[in-house]
Structure 1
């Protein structure tokens, strides 16, 4: 009999202070009747950062907490798949290390999955540290969305349009949920193929929810579960990160929409930055990256 109900998987990369706060909040807010484990995957951080995290885990001396060191920085998907191989729970919670639990998210989300087997993945209401709502649900990355923007869906799909900055009153479906905190069953995650490790960073949740949809499973925000996300804390903004975001976008477009849409979007994005480079010369780097083959070998992993 499986004694672990929920496996929480957290990736650390040179941000042990956030990881420690995240772990503390999970232990503090999770109900005593939930059998869970926390799997921390260090994605080849600098020695000092890893030692801080290691010393914390040793001092805590908790049998529910497990720390593993990856042999390389394999990104979001690769790091989480590393953790997945260690997981023993019937449910998987993939949690960014810059998340703080506001309430018993593990119990609330797992109960949603137990009560409705049509849910493939669910996520909590997420707030900034200032108490503002961060978007949990969104529409799929598509050529129309990239070119025309999110607001176009307000007119094309009015019944499904969600004001992403308002607190939801009940569990609500979207195309996909934010990858900062998502829960799904071990079985469904495995059947879907898990995270695509060809994606180093960003848009992994879009790709995963696309595959869950093909299994007739939906993505849902459960508003009763609440957390704080120090948005972008683990991956500070930079031109390299912006380039990674666009590379991952193009990979997902090509994978799910084919070459025609890929070339259309690639052309559109490239030309938009060619215009911007006049006033922002730093975009030369971004343009150069967009001209490289879209693959794991051209990601910031190799920079």
Structure 2
């Protein structure tokens, strides 16, 4: 890759920080460690109204650097709107949306840019995710439409050979439906053309939404299996609020992208499923009650319960 001589950065890295100060510092350090020094990269860190003045701490940490900008939000905007805020400050040819709990273990940008330069029809790339123990985890998924929900993944694969299995052993760039959102590498023009992150989605299914819109514009989403990174994913199992948010986001994305009939079909299938599972698992009793009373409405999203930072936390 040739040295960039323009003042314009080649890559804009957007990282959301939400009570993950040390993880964010480790993430930036790992990217810099494995990125060639002649690469022009700008870092945009969005603090999503973290506690304990983390936004101020980030500003103090990076105040003497010329490649990193900290943007402070006075309210937790969620994943979608937080990344949208960061992207508004980005000026690179490529946008890399990277979770704060990600660690680079190799030079990812060179290969990804080289590939995307050779394939102008590719709007977004993803690479192999490793967990904290270095083991491969799910890095791409099929769109979760009617067939996915009713038939399940195994039957879906049998009825459509074009859909790539999530655990397939791949050794070459492969077109997939969507890649996991802990590291999304966009052609900046494709990102802007599809409209970017939807701020209505507070958490979950942002990748589904983005990749479906890219597909409708003629762009491909490609998984590059030869590259990898570590994602130190936090555990949130058992959190009923997040389970409800997951359901809200999913049904919103389905209705928005797949249409009302498929939304109606999937919603009623979920109600049927929750009804029969409810006697055996409390989780499904909660979700059944939630969905029966219009739980799919965005008015129930966690984004409406976020509070502005106290005055003592403001700049």
Give the equivalent residue in structure 2 for 1:83.
86
User: Are 1:131 and 2:107 matched, yes or no?
Assistant: no
Deviations 1:26-46 (A, max 9, x none): 111111121011111011111
Give the equivalent residue in structure 2 for 1:113.
116
User: Are 1:276 and 2:277 matched, yes or no?
Assistant: yes
Range that drifts further, 120-129 or 222-231: 222-231
User: Are 1:286 and 2:287 matched, yes or no?
Assistant: yes
In 1: Cα distance, 2:278 partner to 2:95 partner: 43
Task: Indicate if the aligned counterparts of 1:119 and 1:220 stay in contact, CA closer than 8 A.
Answer: yes
In 2: Cα distance, 1:20 partner to 1:44 partner: 17
User: Are 1:27 and 2:27 matched, yes or no?
Assistant: no
Distance 1:167 1:56, change over 3 A: farther
User: Are 1:174 and 2:176 matched, yes or no?
Assistant: yes
In 2: Cα distance, 1:218 partner to 1:135 partner: 19
Task: Indicate if the aligned counterparts of 2:203 and 2:245 stay in contact, CA closer than 8 A.
Answer: yes
Give the equivalent residue in structure 1 for 2:243.
242
Give 5+ residue unaligned stretches, structure 1.
none
Q: TM-score scaled to structure 2, two decimals?
A: 0.88
Find 1:99's aligned residue among 94, 97, 102: 102
Secondary structure of 1:130's counterpart equals coil
Task: Indicate if the aligned counterparts of 1:113 and 1:184 stay in contact, CA closer than 8 A.
Answer: no
Q: TM-score scaled to structure 1, two decimals?
A: 0.91
In 1: Cα distance, 2:48 partner to 2:238 partner: 19
Give the equivalent residue in structure 2 for 1:56.
61
Give the equivalent residue in structure 2 for 1:226.
228
Task: Indicate if the aligned counterparts of 1:122 and 1:222 stay in contact, CA closer than 8 A.
Answer: yes
Deviations 1:14-57 (A, max 9, x none): 22222122111111111112101111101111134434434433
RMSD of aligned Cα (Å)? 2.0
In 1: Cα distance, 2:59 partner to 2:204 partner: 27
Range that drifts further, 78-87 or 10-19: 10-19
Give 5+ residue unaligned stretches, structure 2.
1-5, 306-315
Aligned residues: 299
In 2: Cα distance, 1:54 partner to 1:274 partner: 50
Give how far 1:93 is off.
0.5
Task: Indicate if the aligned counterparts of 2:14 and 2:86 stay in contact, CA closer than 8 A.
Answer: yes
Give the equivalent residue in structure 2 for 1:214.
216
Task: Indicate if the aligned counterparts of 2:157 and 2:165 stay in contact, CA closer than 8 A.
Answer: no
Give the equivalent residue in structure 2 for 1:149.
152
In 2: Cα distance, 1:2 partner to 1:113 partner: 21
Find 1:47's aligned residue among 42, 45, 52: 52
Secondary structure of 1:224's counterpart equals strand
Give the equivalent residue in structure 2 for 1:202.
204
Give how far 1:226 is off.
1.3
